[in-house]
Structure 1
Amino acid sequence: MQFSSKEDIDVPIEEVFAAISDFDAFERSAIRRGVEVGRVDEAAPVAPGMAWDAAFQLRGKRRDLHLVLSKMTAPEEMQFESESSGLTGVMTVELVALSPQRTRMAIVLNLAPKTLSARLFLQSLKLAKTSLTKRFKLKVAEFAKSIEDKRTTRTA
């Protein structure tokens, strides 16, 4: 199952990359939403191999997730691989400089089952794919807007 979204951001590519690589901010945001998050490699620099363990409630069950930054080419691309009980995921974030002050951010998330129960779970998600896709695109758009707003606040 795949979700994808593209957003154009009125911010230089280096600043967008800095925002998407601010992992401490993402950790704090997840914790505020009730997710238990912990870095596996506390002292490691921002580089491929960084990893996190997370636990959260989804559909009434506790889910454990292991997330690894598998690829990073600054300032153009990041790729994350995740593994949860029966599900694997790959999320790719690509940045393209449209001009010195404008960046296109493309995010693609692929989920694949490893077990029968995960296959059933994904099948239930497919039934709601339209609404899930809308929510995914909305969250990406909100994130892009927040990057623009931070830049406006800093330069004002």
Structure 2
Amino acid sequence: MKFVAKDDIEAPIDFVFAEVSDFEGLQRAAIRRGAKVTRTDARDTPGPGMSWDAAFDLRGRRREAKITLVDYDPPNGLRGEAESDGLQSECWVELIALSPQRTRMKLHVELKPQTLSARLLVQSLKLAKGSLTKRLNLRVADYAAGIAQRARRQA
């Protein structure tokens, strides 16, 4: 099952990549939303191999996930993989410079069930795909607006 969301951001591609790859900031945001996130690697610089353990509530159940950064390509994007309860997921962010001060951000999420219970979860998500896609688009637009606002403050 795949989801795609995109938004155009009034900020240079390098600034947008720096925001998207602010892993400590993303970790703090997840913790504020009730997730428990712990970094599990010992890398000094950002790059493939960074990993986290996360625990969060999804659809009324506590889930645990192992998240790994598998591709880090400044300023074009990054890709991560996660595994949780028989559900493998892949998430990647693609950045395209539309002009020196405008960047298109595309978020791709793909869910791949590996067990029967994960297949049932994905099947229930398919039934709600329209509303989930709408919610994802709203979240991406809100995140993009925050990046644009921070870029204006910094300019």
TM-score by length of 2: 0.97
Would you say 1:111 and 2:111 are equivalent positions? yes
Alignment correspondent of 2:101: 101
Letter in 2 for 1:57: D
After TM superposition, list the pairs within 5 Å mapping 1:1-150 onto structure 2. 1-150=1-150
Report Cα offsets for 1:56-96 as digits up to 9, x if no partner: 12223210011111001110020001100110001111111
Distance (whole Å) between structure 2 residues aligned to residue 26 and residue 37 of structure 1:
10
Report Cα offsets for 1:9-41 as digits up to 9, x if no partner: 110000000000101111111111110000001
Letter in 1 for 2:47: A
1:43: how far off? Answer: 4.3
TM-score by length of 1: 0.96
Distance (whole Å) between structure 2 residues aligned to residue 35 and residue 110 of structure 1:
21
Distance (whole Å) between structure 2 residues aligned to residue 77 and residue 148 of structure 1:
17
Distance (whole Å) between structure 2 residues aligned to residue 100 and residue 116 of structure 1:
48
The Cα RMSD (Å) is: 1.0
SS in 2 for 1:46: coil
Letter in 2 for 1:82: A
SS in 1 for 2:136: helix
Structure 2 gaps of 5+ residues are: none
Structure 1 gaps of 5+ residues are: none
Write out the 4+ residue segments of structure 1 that deviate beyond 2 Å after TM superposition. none
